[in-house]
Amino acid sequence: MDSILNSFIDGLKNEKILYNRCNQCEKDFLPPAYHCPTCGNDKLEIKEAKKEGTIETFTVVHVAPTDFIEEAPYIVGIVQLNNNLRIMARIKTTQIENIRIGDKVKAAFDKNKQDVSILFFTF
Amino acid sequence: MKRVFVIGVGLTKFGKHEHLSTRDLFFHASKKAIADAKIDINDVDGIYFGNLSSDRFEHQAHTAAINASNFSSRNFPSTRIEDACASGGVAVAQAYLAIKSGLHDTILVGGAEKMTNLSTPEVTDVLGTCADNIFELPHGITFPGLYALMARAHMHKYGTTKEHLSMVAVKNHFNALKNPYAQFHKEITLEKAMNSVIVSDPLNLYDCSPITDGGAALILTTEEKIKNLDVTPVEIVGVGQASDSISLANRKSLTSIEANKIASKRAYNMAEITPKNIDVAEVHDCFTIAEIITTEDLGFFEEGKGGKAVEEGITSIDGDLPINTDGGLKAKGHPIGATGVAQIIELVHQIRGTAGDRQLNGVKYGLAQNMGGSGATSVVHILKEVD
């Protein structure tokens, strides 16, 4: 038995955004799942997304959880990659006030304090 | 299948209870519900209890058994339900099923949460466990942050404004003035709401429900049992529940909550009514944007028109469809496990005519919507006056 999440997590270590595509209805989705959330089929492929996308929404977090207090304020966004595939990640910029929904951003990768690979987006 | 009636309600004051724990809060609410139903604890067949995280808040799990043993040595079956902030509402749905199926006759169902003993960042961490720990939490997102993401998307798509969000807070604070059980008895101005400190842009302090201690309980029973009781029963005529991806980014929409739509449709179908029949609603305004989006999801207003409805006073206590007459989560308070149960208590009061200074006229149908996480669980109950 394997965890459906391992391929995604391993992908991040190799600086890739991996997602599932359903062989039956051809929908792309994240998080990885055992069955397609649209049609229920369990024949799924692992694909790699382009490392760019569009900001669909974002927030500037001022009141942060304990692990992130020192970093606040910071931006968390939801970015559309392709075919309605969306992912949440930090958006890093020096110009917080200039960020807009619809802006194009590029994927980048970092390690957090626990040495886990983390995706973020930048301009 | 049996019909199911609420015959007793009990609530603790919502707020800070420095010397009370989860078990105390639930016991005191339950005792009131039993007295209100004019029954004895020995008439109860079992307990359902909604609670998010006594484990993290108080280092105490297995609270369902504690609740049972607080009453007597009757060895009730006692079950805790955890479905994030929908724990209370889902507990009521489970209690409903237990009676509906004929397994039990009379159930004590409620919820409680003790939260104020932790600091705000610590509470933020506990609530964070309701979000996705691989796809959301590593990025430093919080619950105000998740709803802020929906708020900005809703504003961008429909022209909903920051004023609309703040108007929800002003309305709910106004309603709470007339609720003696509410955490806040403080009228606020639109200006004050708009200019409070930013929590997660575009949401500020007055867009967020508070950290609260509290307990709530109901007694549910059958048609046969109410014949011998001197109470005003209120019938549960519709129950609907639905789930979705807990990861916000991976839902169909960022500007509506699919689980709300499906859960409410199921409840309307069971009750054989439409949204137009609802006279009063309690909706899960954990954040002001949640009330706006939910009133659209429930079919009260068209998508994108929820903000306008608040602005026009439709959802005010003297409007055509009063929402959160008890002050909502925003001003009544949000002791997680108790919230979904307390919503139903407000509907019972409005239907039986015991809502005091906030009593509406002619309430036949009331709807309660309780939600978990950023909308991955939704549970809807419809209550009806008994003819």
In a domain, B130, yes or no: no
In a domain, B306, yes or no: yes
Q: Taking an 8 Å Cβ-Cβ cutoff, which residues of chain B contact chain A?
A: 120-122, 124-125, 128, 132, 134-142, 144-145, 148-150, 152-153, 156, 197-203, 245, 247-250, 254
Whether the Cβ atoms of residue B339 and residue B308 lie closer than 8 Å to each other: no
Q: How far apart are CA B145 and CA B337, in angstroms?
A: 21
Q: How far apart are CA B123 and CA B334, in angstroms?
A: 12
In a domain, B376, yes or no: yes
Q: What is the pLDDT of residues B279-329, one digit of tens each?
A: 999 999 999 999 999 999 999 999 999 999 999 999 999 999 999 999 999
In a domain, B350, yes or no: yes
- Give B81's strand partners: B50
Q: How far apart are CA B6 and CA B379, in angstroms?
A: 17
A112 CA to chain B: closest CA distance, Å?
9
> So what's the pLDDT on residue A112?
87
Clarify whether B334 is annotated catalytic: yes
Whether the Cβ atoms of residue A105 and residue A53 lie closer than 8 Å to each other: yes
Can you read off the two tokens belonging to residue B368?
Answer: 């309660």
In a domain, B136, yes or no: no
Distances (CA, A) of B286 to B36, B39, B85, B209: 28, 34, 9, 5
Q: What is the pLDDT of residues B31-66, one digit of tens each?
A: 999 999 999 999 999 999 999 999 999 999 999 999
Q: Taking an 8 Å Cβ-Cβ cutoff, which residues of chain A contact chain B?
A: 5, 8-9, 29-31, 37, 56-69, 71-72, 74, 76-78, 86-90, 101, 112, 116, 118, 120
Q: Looking at the structure, do residues B39 and B146 belong to the same domain, yes or no? A: no
Chain mean pLDDT for chain A = 92
Task: Choose among B154, B170, B101: nearest CA to B303.
Answer: B154
Q: Which residues contact B63 (CB under 8 A, 6 or more apart)?
A: B22, B23, B26, B49, B51, B54, B80
> So what's the pLDDT on residue A6?
87
CA-based angle B21:B26:B31, to the nearest 5? 130
Q: Looking at the structure, do residues B173 and B314 belong to the same domain, yes or no? A: yes
| Chain-centroid distance, C-alpha B314 | 21
Q: Looking at the structure, do residues B367 and B227 belong to the same domain, yes or no? A: no
Chain B neighbors of A65, CB-CB under 8 A: 121, 124-125, 128, 137, 140, 142
Chain A neighbors of B375, CB-CB under 8 A: none
Q: Which of B85, B130, B208, B286 is catalytic?
A: B85
The last residue of a domain, from among B199, B234, B269: B234
Q: Looking at the structure, do residues B274 and B319 belong to the same domain, yes or no? A: yes
Answer yes or no: is pLDDT of A84 > 80.
Answer: no
Chain mean pLDDT for chain B = 97
The ipTM, to two decimals, is 0.96
Q: Looking at the structure, do residues B91 and B192 belong to the same domain, yes or no? A: no
Q: What is the pLDDT of residues B58-95, one digit of tens each?
A: 999 999 999 998 887 678 899 999 999 999 999 999 99
Per-domain boundaries in chain A: 1-48, 50-123
Q: Looking at the structure, do residues B225 and B174 belong to the same domain, yes or no? A: no
| Chain-centroid distance, C-alpha B193 | 23
How many domains does chain B contain in total? 2
For chain B, give the secondary structure using H, E and C.
CCCEEEEEEEECCCECCCCCCHHHHHHHHHHHHHHHCCCCHHHCCEEEEECCCHHHHHCCCCHHHHHHHCCCCCCCCEEEECECECHHHHHHHHHHHHHHCCCCCCEEEEEEECCCCCCHHHHHHHHHCCCCCCCCHHHCCCHHHHHHHHHHHHHHHHCCCHHHHHHHHHHHHHHHCCCCCCCCCCCCCHHHHHCCCEEEECEEHHHECCCCEEEEEEEEEEHHHHCCCCCCCEEEEEEEEEECCCCHHHCCCCCCCHHHHHHHHHHHHHHCCCHHHCCEEECCCCEHHHHHHHHHHCCCCCCCCHHHHHHCCCCCCCCCCCECCCCHHHHHCCCHHHHHHHHHHHHHHHHHCCCHHHCCCCCCEEEEEEEECCCCEEEEEEEEECC
Q: How far apart are CA B228 and CA B327, in angstroms?
A: 35
Answer yes or no: is pLDDT of A1 > 80.
Answer: no
In a domain, B123, yes or no: no
| CATH assignment at residue B81 | 3.40.47.10
Q: What is the pLDDT of residues B194-241, one digit of tens each?
A: 999 999 999 999 999 999 999 999 999 999 999 989 999 999 999 999
> So what's the pLDDT on residue A82?
82
Q: Using CB atoms, which residue from A62, A78, A89 is nearest to B198?
A: A62
Q: Looking at the structure, do residues B71 and B220 belong to the same domain, yes or no? A: yes
In a domain, B37, yes or no: yes
| Enclosing domain of residue B81 | 4-118+211-234
Chain A neighbors of B150, CB-CB under 8 A: 57
Q: What is the pLDDT of residues B252-270, one digit of tens each?
A: 999 999 999 999 999 999 9
Task: Choose among A29, A13, A91, A18: nearest CA to A54.
Answer: A91
Q: Looking at the structure, do residues B62 and B160 belong to the same domain, yes or no? A: no
- Give B301's strand partners: none
Q: Do A61 and B121 touch (CB under 8 A)?
A: no
Q: Looking at the structure, do residues B183 and B215 belong to the same domain, yes or no? A: no
- C-alpha atoms less than 13 angstroms from C-alpha of B90 in its C-beta half-sphere: 22
Length of chain B: 387
Indicate the class that CATH gives domain A50-123.
mainly beta
> So what's the pLDDT on residue B1?
85
- C-alpha atoms less than 13 angstroms from C-alpha of B215 in its C-beta half-sphere: 26
Q: Looking at the structure, do residues B98 and B179 belong to the same domain, yes or no? A: no
Can you read off the two tokens belonging to residue A98?
Answer: 């200039």
Clarify whether B130 is annotated catalytic: no
